[in-house]
Amino acid sequence: MLNKYEVLNKMNQGRLVAVVRGSDAEDAINISESCIRGGIQSIEVAFTTPNCLEAIRKLADQERDALIGAGTVLDPETARLSILYGAAFVVSPNFSKAICEVCNLYSVPYLPGCLTVSEMVEALKAGVDVVKVFPGSTVGTGFIKNIKGPLPNIQLMPTGGVNLQNVTEWLDQGCFAVGVGSVLTKGAEKGNYTCVEENAEQFAHKVSAYSC
């Protein structure tokens, strides 16, 4: 098992986190594996997926070179369960001190969703290393630079509103990484997982070229 800072370093190197919401565990697994084949090595399986824990367990067991995390975690009990099932990181749409304490106890990165400076400061005070800017579509890319003015030490990961056309704009603002969701499964509504892989490849290629 990777330690907390190895996980964060790998996420930062890849710059892309696939946010996966499947119709069931099997669908989430297929979407995740397609993203991994396409070059995205950080996968956030949302708890809105039925039998989410089974998907996390299987992916964590089989995809040893990828990071498998849990998303849409709303309470500390769910956070602990996801960690026990193999989640390498935990993401929530809001900041929760109780979830943060559980993740700190197990030395697992916690990325809470925040949208105000007050929320972000509270998260930093609790020991959060990376804050998820959510929903990113509400604030736009310039928000990152504005936040980094008063909080230059903060690491931010926007989720929501990130697409192939603006992904490098987000990174230009100094983002730690970006979360990419439904745009990855566009065209795959009927189980066309090849389409997911192709979408992931486009993101991975664009971010790789940007990083070089």
| Active centre residues (catalytic) | 44, 132
CA proximity to 97, closest of 75, 78, 64: 75
Torsion of CA 90, 94, 97, 102, to 10 degrees: -20
Side-chain-facing half-sphere of 171: CA atoms under 13 Å: 23
Residue partners of 56: CB distance under 8 A and separation at least 6: 45, 68, 70, 82, 85, 86, 87
Q: Is 114 helix (H, G, I), strand (E, B) or coil?
A: strand
Strands 42-46 and 156-158: unpaired
Taking 3-state DSSP, the helix, strand and coil percentages for the chain, each rounded to the nearest 5, stand at: 50, 15, 35
